[in-house]
Structure 1
């Protein structure tokens, strides 16, 4: 097993290399744009391609060297005697050119910063691919010695598809497995890591990352969203990713149950300044505790601010955009509709949670119907229903 200390050190070194490469691309492009204010999109595209081509080989070479050294160190730590790891530079000039052809469209529309960011993303992807492909190439070479590989998320840019692949654990290098495990989206920072000797499919190759337990958490999110993650249905993957982003990283990656937090002390004080606030917040906290058990991050923020025009603007209850609606006594659709209407008038709401878990007047089925009709009435596409058994269900409707 790779120690958490060793994995984190490798991740930091990898990130530093990526940051160095992207910073150089960004600085060079911004300097060129400043010196060529009248440049066409075609000229900007050509310069960016030449710039990335020139830098990617060197940085990808450094990345593959770093990965090969990591592979050798972990092989030695496991007691296996293998040949020195080879390097694999995975820069794809054609892919890079295609991405920058698209990005040049941003430049042509006056979005120079978007163009620069896209170029940095292409550069970062090239460096990361060389890291991961080097591990995979060596694992394939040493498969007869029992070497496997696994994908491990780092918690920075992990989508649902990445996470699903990571839950597969240590796999052999079949053509299908290697093909899927080698797929990465732009900004993907998952790591491919080697497993030596007696490692089996769901073994803990990296300390703290337990694929089988992570698979159970992913399965729970799939159940509540009604979406199955795979390599073809990207709309379903996006829905699961959105739900993942509402979760606490400690729960999602390591199964640690989060706790209620506050953005700052002023929020805590405001929530207890009078009887009405205290009673309302007590209900919110009961719902938040249920969400904690399901892995949701619950950081209460100030849900009202004053804008530049001096008007009060409503914000969601939680810092991740969740608006909590605790419905413990309502009996009618109108009550549900009012809650959703109020949420619609708040700025920055990413999800609405309707909690009927302690409501004796509404069955889950009746509450589901009320939520569906209320969403249609107010032009919203989805809301979560927290049911009587403590489970969550994402209710989706067509606008």
Structure 2
């Protein structure tokens, strides 16, 4: 692999910066776009006509980004090499009527998004971030990245059985955060506060998509700093790696037989069924328009899709030292052991034997190890955008990722070497 494409521990440092700057899917795609702009990519609007000239382009839609690089002289039927990921993470999201409270406490009404480990959100300093929709039709990102809210846990003195019986949380009653004191609930207080934070006039915000995030920054952990603790690794770790890999390939100057693509979708944690999710038409529309912009026909589109491969990159489960019996007895992925290949014969993952060969070749070229994850037969297997992408677009898809602990926690744990090992594998895949 050429030197510009070789990632090391500095990549992990940069991942930590990316995680801190991306408390929501909207911030994540904006930060990915900024990095691609520095690599020469330019944004194109879906409402504009597209040209077929060479170079890097990207489309932003809500919390999703599709970016691609057209090499000089690329044929209309040139196949794509896609890195797929998702931008959303489980969390607490603000309801349409956010102002609430009781017994002298001012609170914010929240709804549970996805499948968070709810106990991990207790007694944690939380910020608030998201997207504000304005009266003039524009949007504005907002990020209150300081302690603003907290979900206080009940003291053990009032729940003496919690140690023996385990913590039991009611999603409606027990997870509403406090953010101040006051006997009167005033509708509009939270949004007025955010208008002030964003430098907007009162009444300018008419819609919002807001969510909480832990304000504790990512950090190296362990005696030898071989671990990283931080938020939203599922799945911004893959978004960051895919962005870095696409930028590296686009600036390497090497001839490319494929068109490299990054496809980072929203709403994976809730089933991907949205206009910005993997089960929507966004990816297929962008790929088709790229073919047609280069003068291609439907026949060229069919040829391109038939030769396309997608790596669906999402975090997976490292073997847990305290719960090893929950894993398959012969498949124990370890942190810092390299990226994982995710396999499930019931198509919860999209990997098959030919896909394994593609990923093995990329890892061999990058000179990195890889591991295999298979679920314990006695437990249901999770899923990803992989099977959705394969079924919706007829694209050969392989499920991969990085092994972590504490998945869906407000703060997850990975190996410090695995992020740059994944990025190296993605470069080798995009630039075969």
TM-based fold match above 0.5: no
Name which structure has the greater RCO, CA cutoff 8 Å, separation 6+.
2
Larger Rg, first or second structure (1 or 2) = 1
TM-score bracket for the superposition, by shorter chain length: under 0.3
More strand by share: 2
* TM-score, normalization by structure 1: 0.27
More helix by share: 1
